[in-house]
Structure 1
Amino acid sequence: MTELEFQLVKTNKMTLHAVTAGPRNGPLVVLLHGFPEFWYGWRNQIKPLAEAGYRVLVPDQRGFNKSQKPEGIEQYTLDILRDDIIGLIKLYNREKAHIIGHDWGGAVAWHLASTRPEYVETLIPINIPHPAIMPKAMLTLPLQWLRSSYMAFFQLPEWPEKLLSADHFDGMAKGIKLSASKSSAFSQEDLLQYKEAWSQPGAMTAMLNWYRAIRAGIPEGFTQPEKVKVPTRMIWGVNDPFLSKKLAKKSIEHCEDGTLTFVGEATHWVNHEQPDIVNQLIANYLKNQAGIN
């Protein structure tokens, strides 16, 4: 039976809540959640990876759930979020790790692999494009602008917090459930877990600050990014209501050694909707990169 260990860890002058599992001497796999999730979003992936012999590390990223929530949007830029993960890799006495990220967690993973590749063994972004792709897409793909219009709303002060937290986050919970392709993807118990995380003091503003920090702009070097040299396996739920498939195709063009797999009957929440497929894709890729038959 896989036991989960809950810890508070220090990284980049920040205290993060984290979950670990698997053999302590196993290769390190870091799972990075996005908005509006927390470590629990990887509940279907932790056990299979741990049982395969990996040391699995799943932090609540800064601002989420039980992790520290610094004030100010400048505390949530991609460079700082990346450095949180570098600090974790060092804290667990590894030179590098396999990095798997979904949504905003995938953006952090892309940025880490693009700018500090020495810390990344393999990169697996799930339903998130390379951060340099989005600004261009907003200008050239009108439908993508409409799909991403919620990001503009999130820039407003106070109103997003009031709307999202209304009726104890009922609208937010229903939105996640309705946007999934399977009603079973998020159970009522799952949504209660999310509501508890969202209810943490200061969490909603801190979570939204990830979007508000976009005002700081794309980090230097991302407007004309170099090829991502780290072995990369993109996984994409084909019916993502928020992000176009074109973004995935354009992102993989930035990878020297990249493969892209579209998963059917899945949306943005592919790791919840099709966990067996996602787990198999991850397992096969990690084995192939390690040269294990």
Structure 2
Amino acid sequence: MDSYTRGALRFDVTEHGPSDGEPVLLLHGFPQTAASWEPVARRLADAGYRVLAPDQRGYSVGARPEGRRAYRVEELVDDVVALADAAGAGTVHVVGHDWGAVVAWALAALHPERVRTLTAVSVPHPAAFVKAMATSRQGALSWYMYFFQLPAVAERLLGRPGGLAAAARRAGQSPEKARRDEAALAAKGGLRPALTGAINWYRAMPFWEHKGLQVTVATPTLLVWSDGDVAISRAAVDGTPRWVTGPYRLEVLSGVSHWIPDETPERLADLVLEHLGTAA
């Protein structure tokens, strides 16, 4: 499986592992692609899981609709449901990093019947995050979200050669992986169009139908957070348990940056495999 469609949109997909394995969906964040999951995907595939990692809406050239409303979280969730349907999977394990974690939380909240386990990497429950924005230093850490609301400004600054990679390095990403991610987006029809699609996820936040996604999650949940994360505060993490009614576990990685799948893929894969096993 290298692609799937939802209506007129076509999404690129990377598949690993046996076709009859339990399906695991890996959802990337900003500003990355499915390539960020490669080491983790190989470990899961070696354990017998069927791993599907899409380039999500705005990142796949064939799935880049106009207008920020097209990037509401509800649309992003329905894209993932369409992937599960295309794979013939009634239920899936879902693992998301950064914005991919937001989509994973929303999938488990809005379509609990489709999710066997949820692993959120770096980003806590959206409702806990929103509350932390108003009550802790999370508001200051999230300054870039306000900046991204400015039309075309972010594209001009980050779209210069090396601009996106430099921003990722300032957020703790390694130079090698930062260059990889910039090159991957540039290969998707040009860097600036890809950036607009990616940044539209932020610009669509005021139009979410489920404001703050204040919906509890009953799915068995693992949250993996790192104390070197410059974008996500501990206050947001600590507010998450009130939004999870099912089994919940928090794993804190010491001395690791926001870019957990890149920086410590083996440790993350171990945690994910352990969590998937709890659903057996």
Q: TM-score if structure 1 supplies the norm length?
A: 0.89
CA, structure 1 residues 70+211, in 2 after alignment: closer, same or farther (shift >3 Å)?
A: same
Q: Secondary structure at the residue paired with 1:247?
A: helix
C-alpha RMSD over aligned residues? 2.0
Percent of matched pairs sharing the same residue: 34
Match of 2:187 in 1: 196
Would you say 1:269 and 2:259 are equivalent positions?
yes
Matches for 1:166-181 after TM superposition, within 5 Å = 166=160, 168=161, 170-180=162-172
Would you say 1:243 and 2:232 are equivalent positions?
yes
Q: Deviations over 1:18-40 (max 9, x none)?
A: 11111001000000001100111
Would you say 1:102 and 2:97 are equivalent positions?
yes
Match of 1:14 in 2: 9
Number of aligned residues: 279
AA aligned to 1:216 is F
Would you say 1:289 and 2:267 are equivalent positions?
no
CA, structure 1 residues 115+190, in 2 after alignment: closer, same or farther (shift >3 Å)?
A: closer
Matched-pair contact (CA < 8 Å) for 1:238–1:264: yes
Matches for 1:82-121 after TM superposition, within 5 Å = 82-121=77-116
Deviation at 1:184, TM superposition (A): 7.1
Match of 1:145 in 2: 139
- Distance in 1 between the 2:178 and 2:211 partners? 41
- Distance in 2 between the 1:125 and 1:89 partners? 18
CA, structure 1 residues 156+190, in 2 after alignment: closer, same or farther (shift >3 Å)?
A: closer
Matched-pair contact (CA < 8 Å) for 2:164–2:182: no
AA aligned to 1:255 is V
Q: Secondary structure at the residue paired with 1:132?
A: helix
- Whose relative contact order is higher, 1 or 2, with alpha carbons under 8 Å and at least 6 apart? 2
CA, structure 1 residues 195+265, in 2 after alignment: closer, same or farther (shift >3 Å)?
A: farther
Q: TM-score if structure 2 supplies the norm length?
A: 0.93
Deviation at 1:202, TM superposition (A): 2.1
Would you say 1:258 and 2:248 are equivalent positions?
yes
- Distance in 2 between the 1:89 and 1:62 partners? 15
Structure 1: runs of 5+ lacking an equivalent: none
Match of 1:219 in 2: 210
AA aligned to 2:96 is G
Runs of 4+ in 1 over 4 A off after TM superposition: 187-191
